[in-house]
């Protein structure tokens, strides 16, 4: 125990001369006024500061505001420990295993509050590849800044003074459109392989060029992503695909060699003419909705990415003599199971995906009561949007979604006229009336 304490003390002393010094950037240079900060984040900082702690809005929110983007969420960094933060906010909870953080709820908003992290040392727990497994050692703000991945994320904004503390020239890198890693890139990727995906996402979103030193190791180290927990990889992929720049992100994923294995069948999909067009249309539609402030469905998004693999498996099974409906569900299960090893899609999202897929054959039925029942389905709209996307990519005739569009808007009389006769039924035969017992015998008895 004493040896461990001494090693930590001397390690910190040896590292202290190398700690970054913060540049204090005034509001006239960075342009962030405290009124631009989410009120809930300002409140968290104020409460912590009034209790005697340091507190800053940190990372992505500061980066995005300087770059002219609207932040999706706000994080706060402080020298208060998770327990101290928890004691200051009634509506809060401590989460996390690898690194404990606090979620502070304020109205409908949730602010993530993290304690300044210490630099890694010999006691840091890692796996055989160098990925950090546990990291609950607190440090100072200088250590915390050095621990962050990219220079543009090592920015700390004080809502009280409106000053940005810049430890690694992140503001200058933003102005110069450069994404630069803090520290030696290979070591940082080993600590957390997800940083390779994050580099692609940030570069695509902010229009940055990845610094050559940070870019060169990515292709050869991509296999490290296999060691990342499936749930965490899914979260990062969802952020990437719902960033509003999914098309640019996916193109850069392919350039960096990171697309293979993330969605196990994605590379195959993009080599199919119809599949590739379908995926790009889906991603472009998602980007447009995000950038115009419209909601998006993760289930719909992943349903589009994997549909052509379902379609290929479904068609093969039908050729082998399987019935259409069971064959579709077998194909769906096969595709979802094949990617589950890499991406832990939640049950709710998986349910959305399968519902959208399962509705597709039902759009072919335009006779009898089937169209009316389909319109009443809760997922009808998502299924219809998926159907139209299939038509726009050339997979099916546009006449089918056009028919449903007209049918949905028509009145009762017009709908009845639009119904397509079911050719398989043929002319209906009149049923002969059933005779009462003994009726035949009476009929056959000759009259006297």
Q: Which residues are catalytic?
A: 73, 75, 149
3-state secondary structure 401-427: HHHHHHHHHCCHHHHHHHCCCCCCCCC
Please name the residue ranges forming H helices in 31-149.
39-50, 60-67, 82-88, 141-147
Token duo for residue 151: 């220079």
Contacts of 179 (CB under 8 A, 6+ apart): 150, 152, 173, 199, 202, 203, 206, 208, 209, 210, 211, 214
The angle, 0 to 180 degrees and rounded to 10, between the axes of the packed helices 194-206 and 246-256 is 130
Task: Identify the bridge partners of residue 189 per DSSP, sorted by sequence position.
Answer: none
Identify the CA nearest to 143 among candidates 48, 18, 57, 4.
18
Considering Cα of 41, then 155, then 239, then 236, what sign does the dihedral take? negative
Q: Regarding beta strands 75-78 and 92-95, do their DSSP bridges make them parallel or antiparallel, or are they unpaired?
A: unpaired
User: CA 15, 17, 20: angle at the middle one, nearest 5?
Assistant: 90
Distance CA 85, CA 51 (A): 10
Task: Identify the bridge partners of residue 132 per DSSP, sorted by sequence position.
Answer: 126
Tell me how far apart the terminal alpha carbons of the chain are, to the nearest angstrom: 121
- Cβ atoms of 71 and 111 closer than 8 Å: no
Distance CA 184, CA 172 (A): 19
Alpha carbons within 13 angstroms on the beta-carbon side of residue 394 total 8
């Amino acid at each position: 125990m004493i040896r461990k304490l001494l090693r930590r003390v001397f390690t910190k002393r040896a590292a202290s001369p190398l700690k970054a010094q913060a540049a204090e950037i005034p509001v006239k240079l960075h342009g962030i006024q405290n009124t631009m900060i989410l009120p809930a984040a300002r409140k968290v900082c104020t409460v912590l500061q009034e209790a005697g702690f340091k507190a800053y809005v940190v990372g992505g929110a500061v980066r995005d505001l300087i770059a002219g983007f609207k932040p999706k969420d706000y994080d706060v960094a402080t020298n208060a420990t998770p327990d101290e933060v928890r004691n200051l906010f009634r509506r809060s909870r401590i989460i996390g295993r690898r690194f404990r953080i606090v979620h502070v709820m304020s109205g409908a908003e949730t602010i993530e509050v993290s304690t300044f992290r210490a630099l890694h040392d010999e006691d840091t727990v890692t796996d055989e590849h160098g990925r950090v497994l546990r990291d609950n050692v607190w440090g100072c703000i200088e250590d915390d800044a050095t621990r962050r991945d990219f220079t543009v994320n090592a920015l700390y904004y004080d809502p009280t003074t409106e000053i940005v503390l810049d430890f690694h020239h992140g503001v200058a890198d933003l102005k110069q459109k450069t994404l630069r890693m803090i520290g030696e890139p290979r070591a940082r990727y080993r600590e957390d392989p997800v940083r390779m995906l994050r580099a692609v996402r940030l570069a695509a979103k902010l229009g940055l060029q990845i610094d050559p030193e940070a870019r060169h190791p990515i292709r050869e180290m991509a296999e490290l992503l296999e060691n990342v927990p499936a749930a965490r990889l899914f979260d990062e992929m969802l952020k990437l695909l719902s960033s509003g720049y999914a098309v640019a992100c996916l193109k850069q994923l392919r350039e960096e060699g990171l697309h293979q294995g993330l969605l196990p069948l994605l590379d195959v999909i993009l080599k199919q003419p119809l599949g590739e067009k379908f995926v790009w249309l889906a991603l472009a539609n998602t980007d447009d909705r995000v950038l115009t402030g419209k909601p998006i469905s993760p289930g719909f998004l992943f349903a589009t990415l994997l549909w052509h693999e379902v379609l290929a498996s479904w068609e093969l099974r039908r050729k082998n003599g399987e019935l259409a409906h069971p064959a579709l569900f077998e194909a769906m299960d096969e595709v979802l199971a094949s990617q589950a090893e890499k991406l832990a899609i939640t049950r709710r999202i998986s349910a959305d995906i399968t519902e959208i897929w399962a509705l597709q054959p039902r759009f072919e039925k335009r006779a009898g009561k089937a169209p009316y029942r389909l319109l009443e389905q809760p997922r009808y709209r998502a299924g219809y949007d998926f159907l139209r996307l299939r038509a726009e990519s050339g997979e099916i005739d546009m006449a089918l979604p056009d028919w449903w569009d007209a049918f949905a808007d028509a009145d009762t009389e017009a709908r009845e006229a639009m119904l397509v006769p079911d050719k398989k039924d043929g002319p209906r035969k009149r049923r002969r009336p059933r005779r009462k017992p003994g009726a035949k015998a009476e009929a056959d008895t000759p009259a006297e």
